Amino acid sequence: MTQTGSYDIVILGGGSGGYACALRAAELGNRVVLIEKDKVGGTCLHRGCIPTKALLHAAEVADLAKEAGEFGVVASFQAIDMPKVNVYKDKVVDRLWKGLQGLLSGRKVEVVHGDGRLISPTQVAVGDDVYEGTHVVLATGSEARSLPGLQIDGVKVITSDHALMLDRVPSSAVILGGGVIGAEFASVWRSFGAEVTIVEMLPHLLPLEDEASSRQLERAFRRRGINSHLGVRFSDVKDTATGVLVTLENGKTIEAELLLVAVGRGPVSAGLGYEEAGVAMDRGFVLVDELWRTNVPTISAVGDLTPGPQLAHVGFAEGIAVAERLAGLPVTPIDYDGVPRVTYCDPEVASVGITSAMAAERGIETEEIIYNLGGNGKSVILQTQGQAKVIAAAGGGPVLGIHLVGARAGELIAEGQLIYNWDAYPTDVAKLIHPHPTQSEAIGEAHLALAGKPLHFHS
């Protein structure tokens, strides 16, 4: 093997956490090498956040075309041209990818393309080349999971990676898993005209969200014609002449063109030398402390590779924090409850803080208000349905959680993030004047009600 040189930081993995760490570390004057086997940007840019949201926007345009007559607009919806949708999607990804490459180049981050492997606490090998650093940051991300005995063939039984590459709209699909990925693809394909059925082993869609939000989404999906089998496990899948026959544990069968397996994502760590280098692991995840340090003093890890929320913006924050810690700057742990979470289906679901169930588990007494968007002027204009739920500590205490369902909820949750992370009280937020007519008023109205002075609110 050939020693290529010494670096302050060697980063293995060029996704959200890895490239954020590289950019910040280089900005702080470090010599950085970023090793990525595919394209910088990782899952989020190429196979996750960005392409899926492009599809969701195309789906929104399709729905608007179908519903144009309700607004007095003469238009007609004819069909989805999937190859053109993919051209639009790929242009979005390509533009952002080129921009990221420019950022890395501008900050003089050395980018190495190839399969990297940790060979010591300070060295990563790519082929015969060895990159040595004072510090190593592991950021190899995650990949789609399957279930034991379920064979992904990429044709009839697919993952989200395959779904993003489809050149057609499936006539019908069964989605195994009612989490974020399952809900988003269900929303897209239904808008595009497919018959969609979700199978979720837990009692509700989006099981990590507040139950009130999950129930609201389930009602909205039923109105859209998206079928759900909740609280039931998958049993078997067989090929048919036209697709697949899916059998559930209760004996029900569903025939469809495709089965999308969306049962979560697992860490990419197998065969990368982590355990051999002495890094503590658990079920493939790299274990870290509150400042993303592993048990090996020279090695840190960030993003989906570690236990915790698998969110691109979490990877960004962790990568930046590690770069600053390694530069000797003060760094504080992340309150993961305070990280916004968004599912970009129709309607969108967004939240920050704790759920009612989490409050009960932690023994916290709460006061809760649900404000229906049926009383919100902008929501009526947009003809969207949903709600804003605010959870506060009992006795006039601080806001502990904000949970939104409705159009553009992902944009609205930024205010919720500030309210939660600044330990605001309902009485504090009730003093703020929200612009009218906007959906943000729903947040204000819910806090007014919690503060004991409801306006457009029916209990």
Does 277 lie in the same domain as 138? yes
Going 179 to 185 to 190 to 191, the CA torsion angle's sign is positive
> What integer is the mean pLDDT of 3-17?
92
pTM, entire model: 0.96
- Over residues 218-231, the pLDDT tens digits come to 999 999 999 999 99
pLDDT at 379 over 60: yes
Q: Three-state SS across 173-229? A: EEEECCCHHHHHHHHHHHHCCCEEEEEECCCCCCCCCCHHHHHHHHHHHHHHCCEEE
Does 321 lie in the same domain as 387? no
Does 123 lie in the same domain as 56? yes
Residue 151 lies in a domain: no
Burial (CB count within 10 angstroms: exposed 0-12, middle 13-18, buried 19+), residue 324: middle
447 noted as active-site residue: no
Q: Which residue has the higher pLDDT, 141 or 385?
A: 141
Going 80 to 81 to 87 to 90, the CA torsion angle's sign is positive
pLDDT at 296 over 70: yes
Residue 150 lies in a domain: no
Angle at 116 between CA 15 and CA 101, to 5 degrees: 40
pLDDT at 458 over 70: no
Residue 334 lies in a domain: no
Does 87 lie in the same domain as 27? yes
Residue 181: the pLDDT is 97
Range of the domain at 441: 347-450
Residue 339 lies in a domain: no
Q: Between the CA of residue 207 and those of 91, 139, 365, 390, what are the distances in Å?
A: 33, 27, 22, 18
Listed residues 231, 263, 295: the one ending a domain = 263
Residue 420: the pLDDT is 97
The side-by-side arrangement of strands in the sheet containing 387-393 is 341-343, 348-353, 399-406, 387-393, 366-372
Residue 455: the pLDDT is 84
| Residue 260 pLDDT level (bands cut at 50, 70, 90) | very high
Rounded Cα–Cα distance for residues 9 and 323 (Å): 9
Distance between alpha carbon 345 and the CA centroid of its chain, in Å?
12
How does DSSP assign 116-153, residue by residue?
EEEEETTEEEETTEEEEEEEEEE---EEE---TT----
- What does the mean pLDDT of the chain come to? 96
How does DSSP assign 53-94, residue by residue?
HHHHHHHHHHHHHHHGGGGT---------HHHHHHHHHHHHH
Does 138 lie in the same domain as 25? yes
Rounded Cα–Cα distance for residues 259 and 249 (Å): 16
Burial (CB count within 10 angstroms: exposed 0-12, middle 13-18, buried 19+), residue 238: exposed
Does 314 lie in the same domain as 270? yes
Residue 296 lies in a domain: yes
Residue 228 lies in a domain: yes
Rounded Cα–Cα distance for residues 301 and 234 (Å): 34
- Over residues 17-28, the pLDDT tens digits come to 999 999 999 999
Tokens of 193: 């005209």
Residue 459: the pLDDT is 57
Does 255 lie in the same domain as 271? no
Q: What is the CATH number of the domain that holds 247?
A: 3.50.50.60
Residue 78: the pLDDT is 92
Number of domains in the chain: 3
Residue 2: the pLDDT is 77
Does 194 lie in the same domain as 320? no
Does 120 lie in the same domain as 13? yes
Rounded Cα–Cα distance for residues 292 and 302 (Å): 6
Asked which of 1-10, 303-312, 377-386 is least confident by mean pLDDT, the reply is: 1-10
Residue 374: the pLDDT is 87
- Over residues 59-96, the pLDDT tens digits come to 999 999 999 999 999 988 999 999 999 999 999 999 99
pLDDT at 184 over 80: yes
Q: What is the CATH number of the domain that holds 437?
A: 3.30.390.30
Q: Which residue out of 57, 162, 204, 436 is catalytically annotated?
A: 436
pLDDT at 268 over 90: yes
Does 129 lie in the same domain as 6? yes
Going 50 to 56 to 60 to 62, the CA torsion angle's sign is positive
